[in-house]
Chains A and B, each alone.
Chain A
């Protein structure tokens, strides 16, 4: 492991990669800060730029962008009470009241220190957990992978959909349908191409991510532009106050951070749960732990209340890389985008990545950590200046996002058809967003679609066409029972609500 860490450090600490991670953090912070745009959009917008990089540098850029966007999301939560992503909603509970009291700088500093500490602790967990889990997951067979992916899709739908499980499952089906377009890998039969040659290779992953995230998010901002409820209540962006944290506040943070980190990491490892649930749970848990006097301050600018969700959401971000790096199965929308990018570089994540491409495996983990250091050293002091990006008029912002999206597709194929297809999917996704259909299940299903099919077919071939592979191995059976349990629980919940 030490050797691996050194390889990772050697790659991640080259001058070129340090500059890349700094640019990534900076760009991610700016994109993540803009209300409505989250880490997935930030990563999607970076994909075309990574075409010119080697895989390790490309992934380092994305890791920087990811952490930058998470930090940027917290900034807009604290300053505007407008969380860019669900994962930072809980940050606004105490961060925004603190900003209203003229302590925006302090709130941002607490958020940054907590994120850094949460990230550091969970990076250590990741260092320990990933190699050992990689070894265990080598014993996984096709039926287990099939069952795990079904569990991932069900869990993401159950947890990412604000109680709208049915809509999330509909998005999963839509994602699987989109993934099945193109030539069948085994029989070379064209599926759902309607005789169009442009569809014979299937729809590209970048196109789907750009359309459903970057482009449709930009269109949604314009579409709902007249809605008075969505107008952000803005505090002064020029006077954020001091970023110094006093001794009493440091002691409070020191108590909160360890427990929230452990909780966040464990929740992040679970497929589908991720940063949102981790941050809410950490907020709730912290409230139970503190004294009655402190409890009263929750929702009014409590240090514990701000530090807990911030620590947990960053810890969960690192945790969500565990299933991606060890099993090759993303547990969240963001890691699904990362998986798509990895596959684009010709790298298949999974237990063998640790052995075949150790430099990539370790440099991604190391660069995640370097990204956090960069965020703390560079972004925090610069935040009063970066925050001014929030004042950029949307008249300029939206066309620039559309331009980046279309350029990404143009660079990939130099084909008009792909641009039209992207615009079409983005329009549909904009309307789906309006009715609160969640997009992460669609992306995850699209990325996993081909893998699910491959593993299902392989399992069927091995078991001679019989579906007995679903219960032959205890591991497969247990995973499938958990999946059925989640579906059953969702049905039970909606019955109770009726």
Chain B
């Protein structure tokens, strides 16, 4: 309703009033003229005219505004009513705000990761091609360009097939700007046409661009940030990965690449022989199953191709997988999806709890207003009118909750995004969450449902109780029905908060077990400094000598216990691997497993506190040794040598990452097992190879065990690196425990949130129990007074009050048990390795809720026990 409308309406009201008054005046005058005495004339005329107010109301209805008028009046009334009990209102609004806010925040993440379609033509036709070893959780998408061509020629199910190679760390230089690391895609020539994209500026890459030609399309974001929306950007140059390229166009604003978790900055023509991620478009009418069946046959080509140049016996077990790619490549869905789904369940429970809480609060208030309602019905208000008013109240309440919830969602989403983006480099989830129509609809839907849920039940209960009876009885009258309803609500709260509490216990203990698990090395007091030597011009022996000097300097730095060089560092995530061949150890081809490889300097094991079980550590003097030395983990030694001594034996490593020829090593030592690559998986077989070798050095991270807090040495180490050579850059400096935390970001996020929600749930249930008991006590003041006057002790009274809460809590627990068991099953199906079973969860949840209920019952029980019989009876 706009301001002019309101004024117009005022005038209309005045008009109507004038009209009726002139009617009355004329009627009186008529009667007087006919000879009636003035006073009787006025009386008769008024009687004839009828109820002024009613006529006004009926006429206003003819204007067609009545509903709005009523709604506004109801809203104003609701506002005033809520203002009278600010505590209740605050509790209701804040619990709704948290419920709605948390749901919206999690859903917006879930939507971005799992559901949002790529802004391309007909995204539902897109599928991603993956290769997968049996038993592997997720496939990878590295295909040769020959495979791409083979499939293009031979398939009958795809209308198009294209590919891209994504590089997360392209060094990008733009004239006049500082160099940055950018995300680049090297794309097959029909990439943009297949996606059906149109340029934002200039042109996109197409069939005319030969592989490897020096042209690039930049993203809208890059155009905005680096080129400041320069309209003449087309034709300018930039340097990407050391190559000068001409910018031919800007991608459309909405398109940021095929992965949800990174935003591509520039697209370049594919490089010859580069591995590709493949994306296909299904022909209209072809289902993904049909495409799977055909690809299973065509896939032989890739197997043969890969088997040709490889001794990897596993290759023949590879399978092809097709995944829908309407929402982009699946990697991030696999990784974050189940966590987000679990969180979504958790916050849904939280919202249900918040709604019940609000319903409980409204019900209690409704109880206090039974007399008012009865009075109004007695005066002729219709049930519908009263129902509407009560619904308006809950609508206003949920509107306030939604508004506050939107703020919570906004802050919460930002916080979650920051947490998710703090993971390991190659796993970072840099999401772009955009507010969009679906999200707003979701939020509004949640608010509306909560209003109905919160409002209908108490309103119905109040109205059912409202007929004349309450007027006859004194203020304490309430129907049994309402009492049962109130008890039911609190029981439901108890049940739901048990679910939240056990979810909190489950996820927190999951994180706790990850954080405290013995990883085979000591995670505290270790500082990692990854050094980039690529632009120093140093290599080979000169670099090795420089690093050795730096290690010596570090070891003599005060506060440093020991220092070593290694790569990859523990739980960095990425690393090398190879297949081991041990003489005299026959292994079936399908039993062979990849062995993980780390390159380490002497004193590495001492620095990480990995125990040396047999043999000796590497030494700087080993450089000339032939065969080269290796140290293996206990699991490796056990697997290949059983109980025999591994030291002195030889092992050949083949198919080692980034090397072509197999090499033989002599085992000089055995060290303890460690979760070197992955914290969630069992400790695997590891071979440690020397970082320093005759040709130079093959690791770039310094590890420092410190006496004091490792953060305190960050400045010192940085200075030392700079002083050693100005051409070296510290690429990354982090404590080992932070690096480990970064590898479990999603679990930590889930644990923290679930813990928070559990506390919130317990609080809401506590408020519920408290409210119910406090209400019960105030209702039974008289009864308690009589009991005490008749000689009941305080203990008896306290027990009486406690018993009431006990029944409600017991019912809640009975309700909660199946919910927890069911929820545990869902959690178990989504996340593996959860250590706590449903029984333990229930024990924790029940113990917690009983404690909460006891605390909540304390104040009402005390109040009941301190009733003065005389006073309470007089009060009656």
Decide whether A and B are members of one complex. Answer: no
Interface residues of B (CB under 8 A from A): none
